[in-house]
Amino acid sequence: MASPATSPAPSEEDGAELEHDRLIADVFARACTSRGILEHVTGRWGTLALAALAEGPFRFNALRRKVDGVSEKMLAQTLQALERDGFVHREAEPTIPPRVEYSLTLSGRALAEKLRDLIEFVEAQVPDVTAARTRYDAAKARA
Amino acid sequence: MASPATSPAPSEEDGAELEHDRLIADVFARACTSRGILEHVTGRWGTLALAALAEGPFRFNALRRKVDGVSEKMLAQTLQALERDGFVHREAEPTIPPRVEYSLTLSGRALAEKLRDLIEFVEAQVPDVTAARTRYDAAKARA
């Protein structure tokens, strides 16, 4: 979360300090690569797909049933982005029709652990959040 | 991440087991409250707003500058959802114009810690992800 961002490229005169700074990612900067990665892994379906795959490999349709509510198109796009980023491995067996299985890579597993930690926290917050929403809505209604 | 979801409400005959099950949130179920909370905290701007507020309280415009690229409308919607969920506290001083400051609640701080952990992981992955994307695109170009 340090700044400056990885981009833009420094001029040659900027020397050693900027050479170092170029390697520092800053997710708050809209042009930084890390912002796009974060959006893939926390996007509407990325988090759930990664958390599901933390339980083991899935075939496409089984994963779609697990991630309740995702469309075929959105799941395909989500998995493709995560595969391109190196978090998901796609294995297609040369059968007819092809049997395709998705699993986590090493870095995908580390990432999914963090997401599951986050999800467990959120699930545990449900009673408190429900109470907070009731208080908030009541205060708004009085105002 | 257990199932079944917190909803729907069980009938009286369902007894003690369902009484217990009702308390278990399942983020994979589209109707579960936890799914909506997760979307607020991992949505396009929720993660960044919470991570920024982990550094300290912010006034609206300062927060908007920090979260590079967010529109006024989206930041306002994001903060309102997080306030309603009980993660963000909004303090308006009765001045003209009103001075409004946003900070994290106790549960917001716990949540933001997990998000910062996730962000630091993602930022550290930038070189590996960049390399993975290059390999993926090269393989696609050959196919």
Q: Which runs of E-coded beta strand occur in chain B? A: 58-59, 88-93, 99-104
pLDDT of A81-95, one tens digit each?
999 999 999 999 888
For chain A positions 35-74, those within 8 Å of chain B (CB to CB) are 37-39, 41-44, 47-48, 51-52, 66-69
Domain that holds residue A86: 40-131
A62 and A99, same domain (yes or no) = yes
Determine, yes or no, domain membership for B140: no
Residues of chain B with pLDDT under 50: 3-21
Q: How confident is the model at residue A1 (pLDDT cuts 50, 70, 90)?
A: low
- With left for phi above 0 and alpha for psi between -120 and 50, is residue B110 left, alpha or beta? alpha
Q: For A20-74, what is each residue's pLDDT tens digit?
A: 445 678 999 999 999 999 999 998 899 999 999 999 999 999 999 999 999 999 9
Residues of A in contact with B51 (CB under 8 A): 1, 27-28
State the Cα–Cα distance between residues A111 and A84, nearest whole angstrom.
15
Distances from the Cα of B101 to the Cα of A76, A92, A130, B90, B94, angstroms:
41, 52, 24, 6, 12
pLDDT at residue B23, rounded to an integer: 61
Same domain, B54 and B121: yes
Number of residues in chain B: 143
Number of folded domains that form chain A = 2
What ipTM did this prediction achieve? Answer: 0.81
Tokens 């300090």 map to which residue? A17
pLDDT in tens, B5-46: 444 444 444 444 444 445 678 999 999 999 999 999 998 899
Tell me whether residue A90 is in a domain: yes
A92 and A63 in a common domain: yes
Same domain, B57 and B82: yes
**Could you tell me if residue A51 is inside a domain?**
yes
